[in-house]
Amino acid sequence: MESYVPISFLNDFIFCPRSIYFHQLYAKADESLYHTTSQSEGKAAHKSLDDKTYTTSKKVLQTIEVYSARYGIGGKIDTYDQSRKLLTERKKKIKVIYDGYVYQLYAQYYCLIEMGYEVNAIKLYSLDDNKSYPIPLPHENVEKQEGFEMLISSLRSFDLSAPFEANSNKCVHCVYSPLCDVAKC
């Protein structure tokens, strides 16, 4: 049996495929050793979800574990409103809707569908400015759906020892660049 890919890896892989490897090296370490201020703020913003205190409504599922056998992905969702059939991924501050954000939602969507939930809408929610961004469902955006599937395939076949061209614009923002032998910052 092939192991599943954590949903959180999708956005990380787009940022830099090598960052997933370095993140795993730090997995058991104290996050204060490597988290940036924005990462710590993002984690704090998720605290009410992680503690399942965001809402007391029984209609809203919070941080439940989800899995898709079809895509071999799994993880947690932020919220799913059962009455509205709405899946929401929360971010601390959304300045740009990155593909990685959309692909995380797609992964969560497919997991919920396979688990028997009906999902009629998906959205991103920016906590800092209280803005919602509706995202088309995968079947409504064929290009993004194909990108999602290509991303999972690329992630599964990535070889850390293969030649790699670093992106200096990303390296400068990467907490793992001091460990990386190809970082350009």
Q: Does residue 162 register a pLDDT over 70?
A: yes
Tally DSSP H helices, then E strands, for the chain.
7, 8
Please, which pLDDT band fits residue 19 given cuts at 50, 70 and 90? confident
Per cent of the chain over pLDDT 70 is: 82
5-171: CATH class: alpha beta
pLDDT for position 72: 96
Helix (H, G, I), strand (E, B) or coil at 100: helix
Instruction: Identify the band that residue 32 occupies on the pLDDT scale cut at 50, 70 and 90.
Output: low
Average pLDDT over residues 106-118: 98
Longest dimension (CA), the chain: 50
Handedness of CA 99, 126, 72, 12 (dihedral sign): positive
For residue 10, the tally of other CB atoms under 10 A from its CB is 24
Average pLDDT, stretch 58-78?
Answer: 94
Closest CA to 73 of 158, 160, 152: 152
Write out pLDDT tens, residues 128-158. 999 999 999 999 999 999 999 999 999 999 9
Question: Which residue ranges make up each domain of the chain?
Answer: 5-171
